[in-house]
Amino acid sequence: MGDISEHFDREEFACKCGCGFDTVDVELIEVLEKVRCYFDVPVTISSACRCESHNLNVGGGLKSQHLLGRAADINANLVEPEEVQEFLKSQYPDSLGIGCYSNFTHVDTRKGKARW
């Protein structure tokens, strides 16, 4: 049992630099819960909230949704990233930012739709 949703703890979303930034968008948590429940496996968050300094250090964009607590880079245990990406695109055909990478999936709750 997580402390901010059924399966997630706030610390999983915290900026990796240790600055304490861990404010996460409620809609993002709902999306990640949907992924978790659909595949019925743990979802690991490799990057979520980022302060400006950490975002710069990891090569994040100047308008990154990570800066707003609205993005997460994730992996679903034993599920190929392509499967996660296709699931998200099928559930949110006209919304979300979904970044397709070979070893993880980026998802964000920006207003509007973005795909890459």
Mean pLDDT of 3-12: 96
C-alpha closest to that of 25 among 102, 115, 97, 101? 97
Is residue 1 domain-resident? no
| Total count of domains within the chain | 1
What is this structure's pTM? Answer: 0.95
Annotate the chain with three-state secondary structure: CCCCCCCCCHHHHCCCCCCCCCCCCHHHHHHHHHHHHHHCCCEEEEECCCCHHHHHHCCCCCCCHHHHCCEEEEEECCCCHHHHHHHHHHHCCCCEEEEECCCCEEEECCCCEEEC
65-116 residue pLDDT tens = 999 999 999 999 999 999 999 999 999 999 999 999 999 999 999 999 999 9
Give the range of the structural domain holding residue 56, as residue numbers without chain letter: 10-115
Tell whether 57 is covered by a domain: yes
| pLDDT, tens digit, 9 for 90 and up, residues 37-50 | 999 999 999 999 99
Q: What is the CATH number of the domain that holds 72?
A: 3.30.1380.10
The pLDDT, as a whole number, for residue 1 is 77
